[in-house]
Structure 1
């Protein structure tokens, strides 16, 4: 009877796939041969994509991983901002325990401030990306997003030293600036001449509202656009409070960057404020050539302001997602009709109004409109029929209300 060690690597890899992390660790500690045969599954499961807080502790870990044999297996790096102010009093932490926690936090924060003042974070990011030759994706996000797990470097350290119930990792700490992490990380990837295929920025609308806009790195040489010339996916949360200021035309930074991404196929734009979005949307879409997918989230625009940039993409655009978009002029029926007649979409996702009920305020002639949101999705060859059903079924008085009665239930996303 063959022993476990004698099994071929393919079977060991299949076994390792079904093991929980503790058992996989024990298997790899058994002997050098099992360590080697299970190494592929170990790297795929735990190092293909890694998450790091933007702190001295976490960036040290990033550098060490990059310098080890694990570095070449990392495909994606996620970076998030810092934690919020700790709340000790409300949780009953007093006396010696409180002093110990505060001392640890003070030392931790001093390390991070010193790291940024001296530019050590810049050096560490450059060193790390030089040793991540197969990294193809970079993500920037905050902890308000529920799927940012406790496996990120930095969060586990807080749980050990401070306590999970004390520091609120769902709120960003005001000292950290996402724009700094964004700029330095992209510069490091550019210096390493990595083949970056996707960049995603996801932040909550409560974060970065009073921060500088994102600063995109410029190529060291005008013709050296290697790193981002391969970019195929770019999703970004836009702080439109900074997008059109005369003294700091950050919108130009976006368009210049997009001009260096000839292979970009998916553009996702999520606005942190509903207002003043039309010009930004128009210019960013105009700067993106040959898009096949477009995502638009949170805008307050007219029907024409929404559709004109989209219709210019008619020759190539095949997938469209619209979410949280409010029309102040025009109607959704007209939007669907124009998409039906002028586009060649094969996939569409729309956040629609499921129901509208007029509610009169007591003693006044004012009417409030209650609406429930429903995600509708269609992916198939009969797009014109689907859009025609939307056009015929949604009846509205203000362009933002209506009824979905009569639409095939299979189009609803549950």
Structure 2
């Protein structure tokens, strides 16, 4: 009888033990022997290779290709592409107010970082990053693809920024400092917008060329903003490959603050031309004909966009000059989940959006500012919204504000009328909403909209919708590089 050792432990107990190990210890355990490696490989792959964030550097994208060609390929379902390292504009020691205050060690780090900047720019200018993406996407069966900017603070807690990063540690090793230290620079706002916009275009083009069909697309550009034209304009030569991708999307999660240096002019049926900054974003959404879940974040001060989103399909009947034709408003008839966070919009637009979503079952509103200055009108429209939405299965409301009065709305019943959050999930939605009372809180004059952390109730409600690692009870996050 063999002496007791790790290989004689029942597999269920062994998996429970390794679930408490960190990544490095888990990797070391797999290297003990071939038998252990075979027993733990699936658990290891599910825990660390299901969702990964890659940088637009040759080192990181080559790792993506290598993973796609390895036995880890079947496990990688969620790929996030980081726009760049945000240092191509870095001006060396000029970033500091006094050059004499910078140590020799910091000068060395600055030079190493600047060299990495030059290397990345040369790599991107050759277009090889797209070749890497196309090759990897062809080998993978992706379910979810994300594009994000560099996480240089902790304001965003989206899935794209929570993903483990493969490549960041190389920057840390070569420079001796986190890349976020060097984020400050002299680039204009439009230079910032163009970087992540180009990354969005590269990912869409690579998905089209590889014939990959992910069900979900995430874009998180809340830190730098997004150039509407460069990100969402689909060129004529790529329409045959990219439009099927957009049409096949079931979930769209966009956290962005769109802008455009050259806004588009449209002419609605009333004949009065208007200028809009989100022409290409609207056109993009109009092609998402199979959309089932719509998540929008950080859409502030663009009430015209929400007016367009809630407009009736009849508005698509345009009779003016073809060159000024507005983008068609999406039907939204298949949308069963609507989630808005940190958005500013007219309440009436929300009512119209909800009415268009005839299959809506889940509604989440978090940190919303409504542009309705009259609270009585607000209450009346809000109740109308709820009474017309008795088909809802779950609802979550947190931190709702009225813009003109600068006050917060509280939700409650006769026994609890000072609550800033309301959540319900169950069969008695109509009764719960009819019993709900609305109150204004005049003491809330200054409110903080910077906290992007999901509430515990919201996380629980959408746990099954958020991307979770299969069969393990924990996830490791942070800017780490993984050992295969």
Q: SS of 1:333's equivalent? A: helix
Structure 1: state its 5+ residue gaps.
357-366, 402-410
Cα pair 2:407 2:440 within 8 Å, conserved: no
The correspondence of residues 12-411 of structure 1 with structure 2, limited to 5 A, is: 12-81=14-83, 82-83=85-86, 85=90, 93-95=102-104, 97-132=105-140, 134-142=141-149, 143=151, 144=153, 145-147=155-157, 148=161, 151-164=164-177, 167-168=180-181, 174=191, 177-204=195-222, 206-208=223-225, 212-215=229-232, 222=240, 227-242=245-260, 245-246=264-265, 251=278, 253-275=280-302, 276-282=304-310, 286-313=330-357, 315-323=358-366, 324-328=368-372, 331-343=377-389, 344-353=391-400, 369=406, 371=408, 374-390=420-436, 392-394=437-439
Backbone CA RMSD of aligned residues: 3.9
Q: SS of 2:349's equivalent? A: helix
Range with bigger deviation, 254-263 or 123-132: 254-263
Describe the shift of the 1:38–1:382 C-alpha distance in structure 2 as closer, same or farther (beyond 3 A): same
Q: SS of 1:30's equivalent? A: coil
Shift of 1:233: 1.1
Q: SS of 2:259's equivalent? A: coil
Q: Distance in 2 between matches of 1:258 and 1:326?
A: 23
Range with bigger deviation, 46-55 or 218-227: 218-227
Structure 2: state its 5+ residue gaps.
267-274, 312-327, 411-419, 447-455, 460-484
What do residues 358-392 of structure 1 show as CA deviations (whole Å, max 9, x unaligned)?
Answer: xxxxxxxxx985648833222222222332233x3
Range with bigger deviation, 262-271 or 105-114: 262-271
Provide the aligned length of Structure 1 versus Structure 2.
388
Cα pair 1:83 1:168 within 8 Å, conserved: no
Q: Distance in 2 between matches of 1:329 and 1:70?
A: 55
What do residues 182-201 of structure 1 show as CA deviations (whole Å, max 9, x unaligned)?
Answer: 12112222322223121111
Q: Distance in 2 between matches of 1:329 and 1:388?
A: 23
TM-score for both structures, normalised by structure 1: 0.78
Structure number with greater CO (CA < 8 Å, separation at least 6) is: 2
Q: SS of 1:182's equivalent? A: helix
Describe the shift of the 1:105–1:210 C-alpha distance in structure 2 as closer, same or farther (beyond 3 A): same
Q: SS of 1:63's equivalent? A: helix
Q: Distance in 1 between matches of 2:174 and 2:23?
A: 23
Q: Distance in 1 between matches of 2:56 and 2:182?
A: 13
Cα pair 1:317 1:345 within 8 Å, conserved: yes
